[in-house]
Amino acid sequence: MIESLSALDLLLAGGLVAALGVVQFWHGLQLTRSLLMGSLRMVAQLLLIGYVLNALFATESLGWVLLMALMMLLLASYEVIARQKRRIAGWQGYSIGLLSMGATAASITAFALLFVVQPAPWFTPQYAIPLLGMILGNTMTGIGLALNHLTQMAASQRTAIEGRLLLGQTADQAMSGLKQDAVRAGLIPTLNMLAAAGVISLPGMMTGQILAGAPPLDAVRYQILIMLLITAATGFGGLLAVHFGARRLFDGRERLRLERLAPPKR
């Protein structure tokens, strides 16, 4: 049985973040406001999702589970473009993230529910929503990093890319090296996660299950499953996003169109 936490317990933990904000202010880092607003937003979002999940778990309705999954996917797609320094402008930038995550995170979550975990019913919210959330969150990070790397490198290496096009290379050939680097950039957090798991850190799901009283080996099996699913979703999602993103940077005559990128963020 997991130990319950009171509001006072959370306030004590929040005091550490407040102390960090004070120290940052003294050092002139100008991050105190961002730290405060981010912490408050996190608390509000988690409290809200706690109430939503309570209601969702009580209903076990496929319709509500699918609606929740769709909302998570739409919000994650927005976050993908919101964090990029040079994002692809317009609805196309949003649709690239939406399609890449929808085709990977959602399908891999469905695969895990139908063929691996196999809860009854398969859409049981206690399994479906946490699985999708973990896979979607990591896939979102990987796709965001991959697209950010692709667009920034395309802008900074415009002359080299156009030179390759003048030499007769196709758009795919001219962007081949950049696309490979972008996919690698998107996979770096996942590769670091795989290397550190169990040696440097105990992953979140495993830790949560152990705190809740699950046998450590059972928690380890679930964590291995989650990390394998995350790796597959992030890898395939990054490949799709970079493919579609690179195509968007060229017109039908294979000319580089950097005006399709939004102005860089300050």
- Whether 265 is covered by a domain: the verdict is no
Close Cβ partners of 181 (under 8 Å, ≥ 6 residues apart): 149, 153
Identify whether residues 82 and 53 lie together within a single domain: no
Q: Look up the domain containing 2 and give its range.
A: 1-59
Identify whether residues 3 and 49 lie together within a single domain: yes
Total domains, the chain: 2
Of the candidates 22, 49, 23, 21, the one whose C-alpha atom is nearest the C-alpha of residue 137 is 49
- Domain-ending residue, one of 14, 38, 59: 59
CA pair distance 24, 38, nearest whole angstrom: 15
Identify whether residues 38 and 97 lie together within a single domain: no
Residue appearing with tokens 């999702």: 49
CA pair distance 240, 230, nearest whole angstrom: 15
Give residue 214's pLDDT: 79
Identify whether residues 136 and 48 lie together within a single domain: no
CA pair distance 178, 149, nearest whole angstrom: 8
- Whether 266 is covered by a domain: the verdict is no
Alpha-carbon dihedral sign for residues 208, 209, 215, 221: negative
CA pair distance 107, 101, nearest whole angstrom: 9
Give residue 262's pLDDT: 83
Identify whether residues 180 and 255 lie together within a single domain: yes
- Whether 3 is covered by a domain: the verdict is yes
Identify whether residues 155 and 173 lie together within a single domain: yes
Cα 105 off chain centre by: 10
Identify whether residues 161 and 49 lie together within a single domain: no
Identify whether residues 48 and 94 lie together within a single domain: no
Q: Which residues of the chain are modeled with pLDDT < 70?
A: 1-2, 201-202, 266
- Whether 220 is covered by a domain: the verdict is yes
Give residue 153's pLDDT: 93
